[in-house]
Structure 1
């Protein structure tokens, strides 16, 4: 009996360790999207953005993401993921070790986006807006900036400029 308990415990620890590694590497669990925790003001803007999002982005159809939230959306498979109300990117945070006020950015249809290369594509985060919107585009969709053209109008109308 002692041996059986020990095997179950080792097996449970191994499973939990593997899950922890997978979650920390992806930032989400079970293929889901990490839902941001914005201020109440940003959450209201994100709700308006969610209602304004297009059904297609770069020809990709809108799809459900898990967990379901007004702060997240997705298109295609692999999924182009939008998260609204994310924290200020570390690259744009004074005092942060990776702070870079001259980081690469692009303006698409009136919306400025910080550009960050990821392991499998690019992450774009709005700049100069009252709430931060992040769009992660898998490398499969080259050029990765294309989905931003279809998202610009919704972002521009729902998330006011800081200026």
Structure 2
């Protein structure tokens, strides 16, 4: 069983640096950000997410909404996670669109990484943006994910394994 690499200090630091500045949000690109699938993700992304306007980013395959510390960041082309003991949950929106996400909390950010899709997509949501339901950002991005990246695997729990 392979476990995913934890978010590196460089990635978290890069996102934090981008959030602290003004103007272009500086975001480190994922290793597969040049995958043509990521171009579809970026082009199809909404102009607004959770009431925040889309902002310019510094790297290919990235999108941001908001400014300052209240910025939601999406990175397409991150390494797909393997089996993990981290929380993996299926989020389904009101139209029935389902996406499996690995959820990690770190400081004042909640990270969502698609599970069973390649290239993988991660989304960082500051708790200040959606303190009661940070998953709302991942839910709102479900259609974007399913339109551009096919699922090849799904979350399973201990009860699903014989």
TM-score (ref. length: structure 2): 0.70
1:139 corresponds to which of 122, 127, 137: 127
Q: Which runs of 5+ in 2 are unaligned?
A: 1-8, 19-25, 154-162
CA-to-partner distance for each residue in 1:74-124, whole Å, 9 max, x for gaps?
Answer: 0113110000011133xx35xxxxx42x63323233111111011112000
Q: Distance in 1 between matches of 2:11 and 2:33?
A: 26
Report if aligned partners of 2:32, 2:79 keep a CA contact under 8 Å in 1: yes
SS in 2 for 1:76: strand
- Matching residue within 81, 84, 87 for 1:103: 87
Look up the match of 1:130: 118
- How far apart, CA to CA, are the structure 2 residues paired with 1:25 and 1:148? 19
**RMSD between aligned residues:** 2.3
- Write out the 4+ residue segments of structure 1 that deviate beyond 3 Å after TM superposition: 23-27
Rg larger in 1 or in 2?
1
How many residue pairs were aligned? 129
Deviation of 1:26 after TM superposition, in Å, equals 3.5
Secondary structure of 2:113's partner?
strand
In the TM superposition, what is the alpha-carbon distance from 1:149 to its structure 2 partner? 2.3
Whether contact under 8 Å (1:27, 1:34) holds in the other structure is no
Q: TM-score, normalised by structure 1?
A: 0.70
Which residue pairs with 2:31 in the alignment?
37
| 3-state SS of paired residue (1:28) | helix
| Aligned mate of 2:78, from 86, 91, 94 | 86
Give 1 or 2: higher helix fraction: 1
